[in-house]
Amino acid sequence: MITIIDFGMGNLGSILNMLERMDYKAEITSDLETIENAEKLILPGVGAFDLAMTNLQTQKMIPVLNRLVLENRVPILGICLGMQILSRKSEEGVLEGLSWIEADTFRFRFDNEQSLRIPHMGWNTIHTAQDSCLFEGMYEEARFYFVHSYHVKCSNEENVLATTDYGITFTSSVIRDNIYGVQFHPEKSHKFGMKLLGNFVELC
Among residues 21, 1, 29, 51, the alpha carbon closest in space to that of 191 is found at 21
Of 148, 151, 154, 187, the active-site residue reads 187
At residue 142, what are phi and psi to the nearest 5 degrees? -60, 130
| CB-based contacts of 92, cutoff 8 Å, min separation 6 | 48, 49, 50, 105, 107, 150
Helices (H) then strands (E): counts for the chain: 6, 12
Of 120, 148, 151, 185, the active-site residue reads 185
The residue type found at 70 is L
Of 39, 80, 157, 202, the active-site residue reads 80
Is residue 80 flagged as an active site residue?
yes
What does DSSP assign to residue 139? P
Is residue 187 flagged as an active site residue?
yes
Q: Which residues are catalytic?
A: 80, 185, 187
